[in-house]
Amino acid sequence: MKRLKMVRLLLAGCATMVALAGCGSDTDSGGSSSTPVPVSGSWADVRVASGNQSVTLSWEDKTATKAETATYNIYFSTSPGVTKTKSGVTKIAGVTSPYIHTGLSNGSAYYYVVTKVSNGREGAESYEASAVPQPSLPAAPTAI
């Protein structure tokens, strides 16, 4: 009986630790979150949401007109300070919102800017947004 009680307490403690492992704090760096984090103030409000080995980027183009047909370029790096001309930055061309960037390493920070391409001309970069992909948390035990 005493052993069963000890096992239950141990399982409850483990379940609590797993549940709390996914919690962040206001001091987390990199802007990673499972809830989209907006980065506003530029031509577009860019949102990033972390997933398991992925980051979902979405944006609202505040300058778009109804008659305009535009695509967008995403530039990213594992180092902050991304610009479209910086060395070591990778370009993903011709995308639309939302875009799911897959094949990423969990626990590594990724930094992004988005540019608009309209009438063959590429516009200014959005503000930089960042995210850190995280593995999915296992389901909490239901029968303890």
Q: pLDDT tens digits for 84-97?
A: 999 999 999 999 99
Q: Is the pTM of this model over 0.85?
A: no
Indicate the CATH number of 37-131 among 1.10.760.10, 2.160.10.10, 1.10.3470.10, 2.60.40.10. 2.60.40.10
Domain boundaries, the chain: 37-131
Q: What are φ and ψ of residue 17, in 5° steps?
A: -65, -40
What's the pLDDT score for residue 136? Answer: 86
- C-alpha–C-alpha distance, residues 144 and 16, integer Å: 12
> H/E element holding 5?
helix 2-21
Q: Is 124 left (phi over 0), alpha (psi -120 to 50) or beta?
A: beta
Residue 9 CA, chain-centre distance (Å), reads 36
* Mean local confidence (pLDDT), 56-72: 83
For the chain, give the percent of residues with pLDDT over 70. 69
Do residues 110 and 136 make contact, with C-beta atoms less than 8 angstroms apart? Answer: no
- C-alpha–C-alpha distance, residues 76 and 120, integer Å: 21
* Mean local confidence (pLDDT), 82-110: 96
What's the pLDDT score for residue 139? Answer: 76
Report CA-CA distances (Å) from 73 to 13, 47, 77, 97, 122: 46, 15, 14, 10, 8
What's the pLDDT score for residue 70? Answer: 85
What's the pLDDT score for residue 72? Answer: 94
**Model confidence pLDDT, tens digit, residues 13-59:** 434 343 434 444 333 334 444 445 545 457 788 999 999 999 999 99
What's the pLDDT score for residue 141? Answer: 80
What's the pLDDT score for residue 41? Answer: 52
In this prediction, residue 1 has a pLDDT band, given cuts at 50, 70 and 90, of low
Report CA-CA distances (Å) from 22 to 38, 45, 130, 135, 138: 20, 26, 18, 9, 10
Q: What are φ and ψ of residue 16, in 5° steps?
A: -65, -45
